[in-house]
Amino acid sequence: MQFDDLMRRYFVSTDLTEVTPAGLEAGIERCRVDLGLETDPGKRFALWSLLFMLGAAPDLDVAFENEDEREAARNFMDLMAASEAESEG
């Protein structure tokens, strides 16, 4: 799953500044539904990552049954936090 493809699928744009608040809410809801239905671990991780970046991801124990997948998500969260700290500093 490519990031731009996910953005177009759920928000009809790759630029969130072009998305209305209602469009953002609707896209997040569709993404959450797809996360709940998706069985492929890689695709689930991609959907969860998008939701995480939007501040709308479910808790790890809800999103991932497998501890390895939860650990990968924790690593992603750490990388995102480090990136934010680097850009602020």
pLDDT digits (tens, 9 = 90+) for 22-81: 999 999 999 999 999 999 999 999 999 999 999 999 999 999 999 999 999 999 999 999
Domain count for the chain, please give it. Answer: 1
pLDDT of 89 over the 80 cut: no
- Per the structure, the complete domain to which residue 39 belongs is given by 3-88
- Residue 75 corresponds to which amino acid? N
Residue 74: closest CA among 45, 47, 44: 45
d(CA 8, CA 4): 6
pLDDT of 86 over the 90 cut: no
Q: What is the DSSP letter of 54?
A: T
Q: In the structure encoding, which two tokens stand for residue 89, read together?
A: 């500093």
d(CA 15, CA 73): 24
pLDDT for 43 equals: 94
